[in-house]
Structure 1
């Protein structure tokens, strides 16, 4: 008996049929038989996931549909000579595929037995083809010890290398299912799957039926030429898009044989212990076994915008939704704070995000917003031109032209009128733009990021490592009552040098900086190799200058536990074992937060009470150092009894302040000015204190000479969303921000209607980079996670290339508009000529063959050449485009219609001249054909700019691609008059000198008129 597990969404339920997995025959059987039932409105079976989604009519229950489904499955089994049903498998729990439970809450699953009774599976485990798959157990319902035991791993040392390799061999590598790139044959075949090609094929068939075999050959020749050009451009675009997938491959830190090891994501094995730290990219679905203030950004999976607090403690029920599984972390999500250890329980396609990949069936690269707009425009033009061609067809019949002749002409006109290659032009232009940006060391990871770059209205800069060089050096120390300057290897106090060993407070402060640090220390000869953040490395370098042995200090005080900086505290603490059995506490972080935990201070090597006057003096010194654009940290320590525990952070002894400087990158100030010229707002986001951030923001002129608005982000989380949205548009600098604050700031700007770019390089920039419209990461100094979630990677860490990227983004969008403007205006002119001539009773100026030739000659090469226009001189002085504005506005249609009318009038004028001189016939048509073709080619020159023209003082940079395209097209057009076979095929007659002069004049006049009517620059 099939029992529903819980209530389905109204009118929709998903069931699992185990035999459906990879069975195309059962998939077809289910869809065919269920769709015939009156109670079923829609059915979709997936052999990838072994599930059936059924939409059913109201008045039916989940049990009713399950019974019908069971009957259909039984019928299939009987057709195959199998038993109608089996009772061995238990219904699958909804917890087995929590992603689908999250997407379609309350979805029952139907189990189907397997031939030749296999061992009965556990009720909590998916059963496919007689193989129990432990990756799909409800791990959130199990305690940590059970999970560890299940995988045969250790909570301390993790898997052995041999066990990890065995699991990788048994279950496969940790890779997500990826769609196969389109083959070259499929790309070529798709060139013939369009409405215009169908029309041309019909036209060719009509030509054959009426005896015009030559016409049919030419028509199909046009089809083939269009297909070849489309294939070449789309194939290049496809290869470029495919190459984007391999730009960044994140890694993971795992414990193997008791050693912390960094492996690639593909090498993460089931049972591995993942070590989670702020900025970690979670490489696989895992069950937490230990955690401390752990927060995870799960927006990619659940849509929840704010980080989720995770804990290993609770054991949850099977029906707990995905977003509420606090003891689980999932592949593709991001650690934003705290730390944790988790056992890998699902990898690759068995992960939640892997199942999502299978469900959505990533078969093709999705269209960009621009491509969708162009497709919509193309569809609208099909309808408009179809209506016009229908009118032309009826007018021709009314004037006595033959049915087949008018049908053939109308179909050819329809195809000539619709620029069927618009989406291909967009894709090709975007792909070419990506390659051009690579030449400037700008790596684009997502196709639609190219067009978004041109719409950026606000850029948020992370300071450290982005605006600055991320090369911290200690410049000033305030220990005891001494203000110590550090220059090179020298420490100075007052007017003389200071021997560090003579200053107990200084040595104690530097000792704490060695202990309270996550930097890895190695030694090569006499040289230390430091691997860690620039801030911690600078502190260690200062300790070395003072003569301290880093390794010896750490070995004297073994590390017991670390409390990392988190969302609610701006300091870090470490706990160490002393040789006396006591515990040493080492703390560093925000000076005021560290000072608040202190009751003592060190003076002349002695511990004395910390008075209110001392606190005020420390605060004044902190403000002075921050005002000098130094990043300031406070240090404290304590020695406590061995029974005090590891969370003792009060009654500390204050040691002093350290001020560090990170030089601003060369050229950044000028870069800020260029962004302001481009009407792009600039905001600096930093974890520094307000005085430090204010000094740097002032030096960079972030406020364009206006009063600099700065906000301390300490209480940003408590601020009303509307207030934050309004405030975010006025503030130039946000200080003391956390990773969550960065995310809030970016989202607040977006809610205010801004298109936001976020630059960063650190692990704490990950959430904001991911949420921004364009995330920009540093390629060399940036962390793996920053590069993984970003849309754009600056390979050489040069922030100045960001202005190049924005310029390219604006230029690419502008060029697509130019190509579109050219295609629409020239194609409209063909419709106008044919319509006007028919309405005036002037016959048909152009034959079907001539229309096809014009379409082939003017649409392809000049249109692509316009898409390769160099940037206009003022492209970075214009305001960003409105992202909600259509690519072709109402005002654009007015302009291109007027331009089409001028071209059409000129062509009709020459046609009238031909009629007056030769009468209706081939001579007049030849003159009209040559005139319209040359005028359209000349119009490409006018489409190079909306404002700058041939009469403007400021000239456009040369476009050699357009010169080649026009030169080649004009040469081909000349061949129509020279080559007898081609001239006969197009139905042309020789042209005399007078006629040639008229044709040349009629081609140039529209260019002059259209250029003269442009708005002056």
Structure 2
């Protein structure tokens, strides 16, 4: 029975009994990480409606419905049945668009969540514990404080605890610390046990046993563990908006303010210009003002962006990048900083021998054979006849190095008998084995060079020089020495055995970079993306890897340690953050500070990682990228994207795809805002010129939906051939509508407005029988047939022009130089839009609903051809401008 006055009473030989298990579970809690309550499906659906643009559309729908109800109640007797139905169509069409978008977003979110669940693989599901004096297997989540847990090589540790008995225990703790090297724990027996609380005697939940065996007493479970503390950091990190969501939010506010302003201006213009100050036409002025304000809202933006993002997410998935939420796909296109974990992300997370130094008196074979014999690692052939290594990463590296030289441990073990050993411990920093061969007995000792140099008889400056040389390259160096014995000494202790040794040589190893990472970092650099290494490893190791990968290229690239970071204020960090290429020996809290410091510089930050220690920073980053294979459950939950192949290079491929998505969204926005501004200018200017609204609200909505939707989706399917990775990323606070985009929108809108109003005038003149402007204007006020024919001509002209815009906006190349397969989507979309446009205009039952009428007396038989002729003018004009620009570039 052992007792710690600050803790509890424990029987190390029997463990807890059933009653104590229940009491401890009640007092200390279950061994589960606290999970956020799952959001019900209905609530997820409702959350899709909180996007600013969606709210604006809902307001528009509400206003439109209010107008329809008002007209029905106050002026119902003055309208036909068709006019009443028409007035109610607009709000429900807008509502349909909003609901469709919400369904799209919900489907993608659920699909991603199911994929994440299938990737979960954090901890061992069962653990071996001592209870009621017997060893039993229980679910890891059933462990309680006070349990005695038994562990050995291959086990995942299920809770935090203190060692009470251990031998040669080696634990891989990279998911908590980020360090690639495993940690040796103190050898403890029942006689040497005490309640000492330090890194050498503690074990932690989620870490893996590499070598040895142990018993430990559970001191912390669930959220009280180190693992749980990091998980709690995630809960404190709130949900963030992606750059796209932030920019659309800002844009929506501006559109909302503009719509409100336009509503007031339009009302005043109508009352004082069109109605000549007649306030009796107040209601009609309100209807026109609100109709025009609604026309400024790009109804197609949200659903079509959703479609573009869905298509992009599907493409990313085929490239091993699983995106959990749609807006994150666009965020990739703006990434300017990639903060990457080192171990397992930039490196292979396995040691490799890269340097050796052998004393001239020994052969290479003797050197390798002795090193192999002084290891506990081994290997076997699997079903595919492939060699699988088992054991500590340092020792498996030695075994692999030997295999590459055709030296096989299994064969050596049959020839050389291991007859005794002195296990490794962290104080001596070495281990010794006794080997018997041909009736001769040898001890072989391997360990840290400084430890072995002190006890060797043939140590010389060459050994020291090579040790310094290897260390300067951030290699982990091991020294090897031997000694021949007549008999095994009776007193097998370090002082008696490990002295007067003969040094054979040194071996240097490192966790090597992934082969493809260097190229990916170079591609990212050309794209204006800075790669920053953030690791829990030591400065010199991190620096060496960073230099090899060219993350560090010159003297100005700083390496900052967690120790230095800790004494820095946030303001001091913000001042130097752009100079730092490597952060070493950092904590989870440090990683969040680093990410947020970059964000203060208006950078879009991506954080990659696989460990629990990476999770808080993954969540804080603009786009967190977790590893799908080696990544922990906590990191996958925190991330926006999961790399299913654990490959850093997938990030660069994903950024490239993200830029294509962003490119298509920008083209879409030019297209949509041209459509909206054209409808707005045509209506507003037309009202000023002709004293009447050229387009009804339903016509505007129909143009917005039909002329936007199919061509807009086609732009989303566009696969541009431009090398977008040559462009620099945008600043985080950069407007989604840049100056060049706004100029294009304005020019295209003015051209569309001019041609549409001219077509309106020609249609009215044709019905009136004269080209007299004043006569046409007066007739439009009095004769509905004239208005309906003119409106139809304007409607068809605008519909054709706006649908064709998708073809000219698809690429900066001349249309005649583009292959049919490249433009097939936009061409097909134009055909579909055009076909849908015609029945509304030319089938009487439909045209009446839309306040149009083609079947009236016409002054000129050529008037039906005007919209089709005018519709081609913009596309021809743009092609001419493109030709001029190409000629200028060639000069």
User: What is the TM-score with the length of structure 2 in the denominator?
Assistant: 0.70
- What secondary structure sits across from 1:478 in the alignment? strand
Residue equivalent to 2:773 = none
Can you list the C-alpha shifts for 1:880-930, whole angstroms capped at 9, x where unaligned? 222231222355444423332222222122222233333322121111122
* Pairing partner for 1:537 from 373, 377, 396: 396
Q: CA deviation at 1:832?
A: 1.4
Can you list the C-alpha shifts for 1:677-735, whole angstroms capped at 9, x where unaligned? 4333456789799799879966x7778xxx76698969784589699989886788x69
Alignment of 1:148-227 (within 5 A): 149=9, 176-183=35-42, 186=45, 194-209=58-73, 210-211=75-76, 212-223=83-94, 225-227=96-98
- What secondary structure sits across from 1:846 in the alignment? coil
* Pairing partner for 2:854 from 979, 990, 1000: 990
Is 1:635 the counterpart of 2:473? The answer is no
Is 1:444 the counterpart of 2:298? The answer is no
Residue equivalent to 2:254 = 380
Q: Distance in 2 between matches of 1:341 and 1:448?
A: 46
Q: CA deviation at 1:873?
A: 1.7
Q: Is the 8 A contact 1:459 1:759 kept in 2?
A: yes
- What secondary structure sits across from 1:888 in the alignment? coil
- What secondary structure sits across from 1:454 in the alignment? helix
Residue equivalent to 1:886 = 735
Residue equivalent to 1:510 = 372
Q: Is the 8 A contact 2:421 2:434 kept in 1?
A: yes
* Pairing partner for 1:999 from 856, 860, 867: 867
- What secondary structure sits across from 1:251 in the alignment? coil
Q: CA deviation at 1:329?
A: 11
Mean Cα deviation higher: 840-849 or 721-730: 721-730
Q: Distance in 1 between matches of 2:520 and 2:174?
A: 34
* Pairing partner for 2:709 from 860, 871, 880: 860
Residue equivalent to 2:335 = 456
Q: 1:177 to 1:803 in 2, by over 3 A?
A: closer
Q: 1:1012 to 1:288 in 2, by over 3 A?
A: farther
The aligned length equals 794
Which protein has greater RCO, CA pairs closer than 8 Å, 6+ apart?
2
- What secondary structure sits across from 1:194 in the alignment? helix
Alignment of 1:416-435 (within 5 A): 416-420=295-299, 422-435=301-314
Q: 1:849 to 1:330 in 2, by over 3 A?
A: farther
Alignment of 1:544-693 (within 5 A): 545=408, 562-563=425-426, 588=447, 594-600=448-454, 607-608=456-457, 610-612=459-461, 614-616=463-465, 618-619=467-468, 622=470, 633-635=477-479, 656-659=505-508, 671-681=520-530
* Pairing partner for 1:808 from 657, 660, 668: 657
Is 1:981 the counterpart of 2:812? The answer is no
Q: CA deviation at 1:546?
A: 5.3
Residue equivalent to 1:389 = 263
Q: Is the 8 A contact 2:308 2:717 kept in 1?
A: yes
- What secondary structure sits across from 1:178 in the alignment? coil
- What secondary structure sits across from 1:679 in the alignment? coil
Q: CA deviation at 1:532?
A: 4.7
Residue equivalent to 2:674 = 825
Q: Distance in 1 between matches of 2:177 and 2:347?
A: 30
Structure showing the higher helix proportion among its residues: 2
Structure 2 residue ranges without an equivalent (≥5): 77-82, 179-185, 187-192, 437-442, 484-488, 768-775, 781-786
Is 1:932 the counterpart of 2:798? The answer is yes
Q: CA deviation at 1:835?
A: 1.5
Is 1:256 the counterpart of 2:124? The answer is no
Q: 1:828 to 1:475 in 2, by over 3 A?
A: closer
Q: 1:195 to 1:172 in 2, by over 3 A?
A: farther
Q: Is the 8 A contact 1:222 1:856 kept in 2?
A: no
Alignment of 1:762-773 (within 5 A): none
Q: 1:220 to 1:903 in 2, by over 3 A?
A: same
Can you list the C-alpha shifts for 1:406-449, whole angstroms capped at 9, x where unaligned? 33333332222212564555455434422221112222356554
Q: Distance in 2 between matches of 1:188 and 1:979?
A: 41
Residue equivalent to 1:411 = 290
Q: 1:913 to 1:714 in 2, by over 3 A?
A: closer
Q: Is the 8 A contact 1:181 1:242 kept in 2?
A: no
Q: Is the 8 A contact 2:61 2:90 kept in 1?
A: no
Q: Distance in 2 between matches of 1:381 and 1:374?
A: 10
Q: Distance in 2 between matches of 1:874 and 1:535?
A: 43
Q: Distance in 2 between matches of 1:389 and 1:979?
A: 33
Q: Is the 8 A contact 1:451 1:813 kept in 2?
A: yes
* Pairing partner for 2:218 from 336, 343, 356: 343
Structure 1 residue ranges without an equivalent (≥5): 1-141, 301-310, 317-326, 486-490, 492-502, 565-570, 589-593, 602-606
Can you list the C-alpha shifts for 1:980-1015, whole angstroms capped at 9, x where unaligned? 211111121227862232212332323444565576
The RMSD of aligned alpha carbons is 6.1
Q: Distance in 2 between matches of 1:270 and 1:451?
A: 46
- What secondary structure sits across from 2:505 in the alignment? strand
Can you list the C-alpha shifts for 1:166-185, whole angstroms capped at 9, x where unaligned? 969x9696561332243399
Q: CA deviation at 1:384?
A: 0.8
Q: Is the 8 A contact 1:634 1:658 kept in 2?
A: yes
Q: Is the 8 A contact 1:460 1:759 kept in 2?
A: yes
Q: 1:767 to 1:915 in 2, by over 3 A?
A: closer
Q: Distance in 1 between matches of 2:452 and 2:793?
A: 95
Q: Is the 8 A contact 2:422 2:493 kept in 1?
A: no
Can you list the C-alpha shifts for 1:131-162, whole angstroms capped at 9, x where unaligned? xxxxxxxxxxx99676554xx78699789999
Q: CA deviation at 1:530?
A: 2.8
- What secondary structure sits across from 2:725 in the alignment? coil
Q: 1:374 to 1:459 in 2, by over 3 A?
A: closer
Q: 1:657 to 1:578 in 2, by over 3 A?
A: closer
User: What is the TM-score with the length of structure 1 in the denominator?
Assistant: 0.63
Q: Is the 8 A contact 2:357 2:505 kept in 1?
A: yes
Q: Distance in 1 between matches of 2:517 and 2:709?
A: 42
Q: Distance in 2 between matches of 1:349 and 1:717?
A: 25
Q: Distance in 2 between matches of 1:431 and 1:146?
A: 56
Is 1:796 the counterpart of 2:645? The answer is yes
Q: 1:536 to 1:292 in 2, by over 3 A?
A: closer
Can you list the C-alpha shifts for 1:839-871, whole angstroms capped at 9, x where unaligned? 234311112332232233234333343334324
- What secondary structure sits across from 1:867 in the alignment? helix
Q: Is the 8 A contact 1:349 1:358 kept in 2?
A: no
Can you list the C-alpha shifts for 1:606-664, whole angstroms capped at 9, x where unaligned? x41534454236546x48xx98xx95632357999989899x99999855322458887
* Pairing partner for 2:243 from 341, 355, 369: 369
Q: 1:669 to 1:1000 in 2, by over 3 A?
A: same
